[in-house]
């Protein structure tokens, strides 16, 4: 088995970040342009990868049959004896599970069809004994991310309606890249840690706490922000329960969780700069 890593796609924010991460670490990585079963089969047969990484479920929330995709990945992984690292999300947990942080041992109860498809796909892939399923919490960056949505609400809508009960343990995409690199490097060195892994920040926050932190950063940049309105749980800003917990990433791969606050200031500044360059926002006037 060749020591190559194959990405099922590299066009989504997570896929492209993973590709850059592997290239920066001089790991041999190849990528398929998108999840076409036949094209992916040809790539796997050509490169005989030691590890297949699938971020595709996150890139295609609609218009894809995730169950069909799961069967294709299971077949390819078994046929070529490739380790499979598959990304799933907090959407497998429903609104009824918001009362406490959720570990890898908790049984998911999705509340919508997307979550149900993700969970069905997970169940298929867990039939491969050399699979790692990484569930992601709320993502702070990427197109239409929580951070950008809250920035837009605070600056453009005049009000950001959030819940002070709905909690998450949000991360940046770079955290998903870090844990993937740790997994790949150790698997290639002989690690045999399989199953479900929860990626999350070291501390949790409510929607209201996250919005307040972002509002304060916007104000420090010289902008007047709208109000933060507290709402009932049913009016939550974020759709699904992202309050994940678990120590398997640390215990099995030595991964160190970071605070969700780490990096938020820089991302807010980047978002402001992009809005100014696009002509949607005027530069702040110094006090």
pLDDT at 241: 85
pLDDT at 255: 96
Rg (CA), the chain: 20
Spatial distance between the Cα atoms of 166 and 237, rounded to a whole number of angstroms: 9
> Which residue's entry shows tokens 């780490």?
262
pLDDT tier, 52 (very low <50, low <70, confident <90, very high otherwise): very high
Residues 34-44, mean pLDDT to the nearest whole number:
79
Evaluate whether 208 touches 228 at the Cβ level (below 8 Å): yes
* Strand locations in the chain (E): 5-7, 29-31, 51-54, 83-89, 131-136, 159-163, 167-168, 195-198, 205-206, 227-231
pLDDT at 142: 77
Spatial distance between the Cα atoms of 1 and 81, rounded to a whole number of angstroms: 8
Q: Please name each of the domains of the chain with its CATH number.
A: 5-139+171-202+241-258 (3.40.50.720)
**What does pTM read for this prediction?**
0.93
pLDDT tens digits, 125-161: 999 999 999 999 999 997 678 999 999 999 999 999 9
Evaluate whether 114 touches 259 at the Cβ level (below 8 Å): no
> Which residue's entry shows tokens 């696009």?
278
Q: What value does the mean pLDDT of the chain take?
A: 91
pLDDT tens digits, 149-204: 999 999 999 999 999 989 999 999 999 999 999 999 999 999 999 999 999 999 99
């Amino acid at each position: 088995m060749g020591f190559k890593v194959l990405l099922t796609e590299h066009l989504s924010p997570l896929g492209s970040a993973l590709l850059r991460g592997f290239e920066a670490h001089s790991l041999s990585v190849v990528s398929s342009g998108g999840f076409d079963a036949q094209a992916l089969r040809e790539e796997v047969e050509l490169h005989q990868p030691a590890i297949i990484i699938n971020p595709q479920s996150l890139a295609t929330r609609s218009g894809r049959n995730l169950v069909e995709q799961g069967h294709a990945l299971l077949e390819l992984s078994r046929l070529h004896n490739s380790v499979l690292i598959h990304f799933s999300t907090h959407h497998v947990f429903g609104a009824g599970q918001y009362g406490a942080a959720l570990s890898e041992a908790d049984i998911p109860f999705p509340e919508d069809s997307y979550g149900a498809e993700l969970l069905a796909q997970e169940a298929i892939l867990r039939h491969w004994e050399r699979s790692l399923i990484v569930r992601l919490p709320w993502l702070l960056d990427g197109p239409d991310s929580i951070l950008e949505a809250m920035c837009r609400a605070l600056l453009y809508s005049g009000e950001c309606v959030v819940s002070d009960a709905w909690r998450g343990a949000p991360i940046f995409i770079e955290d998903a890249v870090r844990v993937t690199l740790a997994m790949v490097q150790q698997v290639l060195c002989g690690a045999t840690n399989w199953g479900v892994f929860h990626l999350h920040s070291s501390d949790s926050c409510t929607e209201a706490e996250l919005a307040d932190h972002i509002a304060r950063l916007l104000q420090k940049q010289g902008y007047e922000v709208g109000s933060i309105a507290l709402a009932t749980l049913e009016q939550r800003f974020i759709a699904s329960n992202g309050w994940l917990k678990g120590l398997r990433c640390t215990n099995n791969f030595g991964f160190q969780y970071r605070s969700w606050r780490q990096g938020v200031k820089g991302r807010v500044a980047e978002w402001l700069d992009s809005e100014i360059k696009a002509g949607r926002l005027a530069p702040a006037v110094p006090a």
